[in-house]
Amino acid sequence: MQKNEILENLKSAVIEGDEDRARENAMAALQANMDPLEAMQMGLARGTDTVGERFEQGEAYLPELMMAGEAFKAAMEILNPEIKRLQKDVVDVGTVVISTVRGDLHSIGKNIVATVLETNGFHVVNLGVDKGALEIIEEAEKANADAIGLSALMATTMPGQKEVIDALIELNLRDKYRVVVGGGPVTQEWADEIGADGYGQDAVEAATMLTKLLAS
């Protein structure tokens, strides 16, 4: 297969969320002695960019985003060892630990944020739902994270976001992490009140906010 064909296949495999096709073409890229970084940036990442744009336009939704992310990861499992072997410089965008706080079982918004961050090159540790402050902080420490994202969808679970920030202060870890909060009842006023670094009115805005904070 020609290089351009492989790159197009990688892009379309991600757009279609086809993990098998993504793996096959990642293998083909290596067999064709292509630069694995080029395969990632000019193939896979163009696919995630396309899906991301469609998502923001309301033409694609969470399933397409998640399936694109899974296809991207599947191909990267093939390409990553070669990238490391060749000691290629991959820009480390950052590590984010994301969770819905204690007492709250809602996950969709958080998962959208996680997926958008992953497709933008972040390493995301998604803790799921109903997690307490100390558990979140412990995972952030283990992952050597740069940021913590906290989701709450009810007025009575919002205090869980403040708990995480208060615990970070008490443990003298506040300056180590950027904290972004979001969720239905969460507002900029609440984020300011509890000392969060950023607030996202919706999932895409939260991901954008995290990206900006970590770039600064």
Partner 1 sequence: MIDFLDICERAETGPLMTEKDFEMKTFIPKLREVVKEYGVQYDSETPVPADDAAADRVYEASVDFLARVGVYCQDTNRVIQFTEQEIRDALASAPGECLTGEGKDASVFRVRQPDDERPARCHVNWGTIHSSQEMAVNIMATNVAHPEAKAISISSVTNTVRGMRVKAGSPLEMYAGIRCIRVARDACRRAGRPGLPLMNLVPAAAAAVTTIGASAAQFGARPTDGWIIGIISENKIDYGAMNKVAYLLNWGANVGCQGAPSLGGYCGGAPGTAVVNTAYFLLGIVAMRANYHLCFPIHFQHGCCSTRDVLWLVSTSSQAGSRNIPIPVIWLGYMAAGPNTKMYFYEAAAYLLAATTSGADAVKMPTPAKGVKIDASTPLETKFGIEMVKAASRLNRQQANELVIKLLEKYESRIPNAPEGDRYQDCFDVKTGKPGESYLRLYGEVKEELGAIGIPFE
What value, to the nearest 5°, has the Cα angle with vertex 126 and ends 121 and 127?
160
| 98 is a contact residue toward partner 1 (CB under 8 A) | no
Q: What are phi and psi of 61, to 5 degrees?
A: -130, -170
Contacts of residue 166, Cβ cutoff 8 Å, sequence gap at least 6: 133
| 66 is a contact residue toward partner 1 (CB under 8 A) | yes
Q: Which stretch binds partner 1 (CB under 8 A): 40-48, 106-114, 133-141, 169-177?
A: 106-114
Query: Are 151 and 98 within 8 A, CB to CB?
Result: yes
Taking the complex as a whole, how short is the minimal distance between the CB of residue 41 and partner 1, in angstroms? 26
| 87 is a contact residue toward partner 1 (CB under 8 A) | no
Q: Which among 52, 187, 192, 41 is positioned nearest to 113, based on CA atoms?
A: 52
Q: Which stretch binds partner 1 (CB under 8 A): 6-14, 58-66, 77-85, 165-173?
A: 58-66
What tokens were used for 149? Answer: 């994202």
Q: Which position has the token pair 């080029």?
A: 38
Which residue in the set 31, 90, 202, 212 belongs to the binding site for partner 1 (CB under 8 A)?
202
| 51 is a contact residue toward partner 1 (CB under 8 A) | no
Which residue in the set 36, 52, 109, 149 belongs to the binding site for partner 1 (CB under 8 A)?
109
Given the DSSP bridges, would you call strands 147-151 and 178-182 parallel, antiparallel or unpaired? parallel
| 157 is a contact residue toward partner 1 (CB under 8 A) | yes
Judged by the rule CB under 8 A, the positions of this chain that interact with partner 1 are 58, 61-64, 66-67, 70, 102-109, 112, 154-157, 159-160, 184-187, 202-204
